[in-house]
Amino acid sequence: MLVPDSGFVCYQPNVLIADGKPVSTPVLEGNMFKPNADFVMSHITAKSRLMIVNSPNNPTGAVFSYDDLASLSKLAIERDLIVISDEVYERITYDEAKHYCLASFPRMRERALVVGSFSRTYAMTGFRIRHVLDPEELITPMKLTN
Ligand SMILES: Cc1ncc(COP(=O)(O)O)c(C=O)c1O
């Protein structure tokens, strides 16, 4: 699984718990902490299956543009990757920054798992409520393992 670095601290341990192999894909200050699709591409191998995208981002605060997400979508389609799109900060943007849902990009509905959380959106941290939007064939095994 391609994991952004810097990224939310739980990503790498969760991949390990699921017997996956996290592969760090650095995001650089010089690119305003946004992923560069060509650079991400250089970390993809024949074994790559999943990619985490997190915008708005914790910890960097980067909000990926439409073009950033379009490039990552194109990459995911070309390399047949499932994308876990962590959008828990979707309602917390400032100034001109605009959030785009990755599943709204062409042909991404079938390969994006969009994650949201009541903790952030409604300041309901103690309730531990999250939601996931994804295709039925992906959500069915998730239900079985919970
Ligand atoms: C990027 C990101 N994703 C997911 C979570 C998890 O949110 P929660 O466990 O509060 O639902 C957090 C919490 O800090 C986060 O920063």
8 CB within 6 A, ligand 1: yes
pLDDT value of position 145: 63
Extract the tokens encoding 59: 């910890």
Range of the structural domain that residue 104 is part of: 2-145
CATH number at residue 112: 3.40.640.10
Query: Which whole number is the average pLDDT over 7-19?
Result: 96
- In the reported structure, the alpha carbon of residue 57 is separated from the centroid of ligand 1 by a whole-number distance in angstroms of 10
Say yes or no to pLDDT of 19 above 80. yes
- Per-residue pLDDT, averaged over 42-65, amounts to 97
pLDDT score of 135 more than 90: no
Q: Is 130 in the pocket of ligand 1 (CB under 6 A)?
A: yes
Confidence of residue 140 (pLDDT cuts 50, 70, 90): confident
d(CA 52, CA 94): 23
> Quick one: which atom of ligand 1 is closest to the CA of 120?
10
Ligand 1 site, residue 117, Cβ cutoff 6 A:
yes
Which residue's CA lies nearest to atom 16 of ligand 1? Answer: 58
Separation between Cα atoms, residue 80 and residue 77, nearest integer Å: 5
Q: Is the pLDDT of residue 146 over 60?
A: no
Q: Average pLDDT in the 46-59 region?
A: 97
Buried b (16+ CB within 10 A) or exposed e, 97-121: eeebbbbebeebeebbbbbbbbebb
For range 60-66, the mean pLDDT: 96
Is the shortest distance between the CB of 118 and ligand 1 below 6 Å? no
Mean pLDDT of the chain: 93
58 Cβ closer than 6 Å to some ligand 1 atom: yes
Q: How far apart are CA 40 and CA 51, in angstroms?
A: 10
Domain count, the chain: 1
What pTM, to 2 d.p., does this model score? Answer: 0.94
Task: Match 């785009």 to its residue by tokens.
Answer: 100
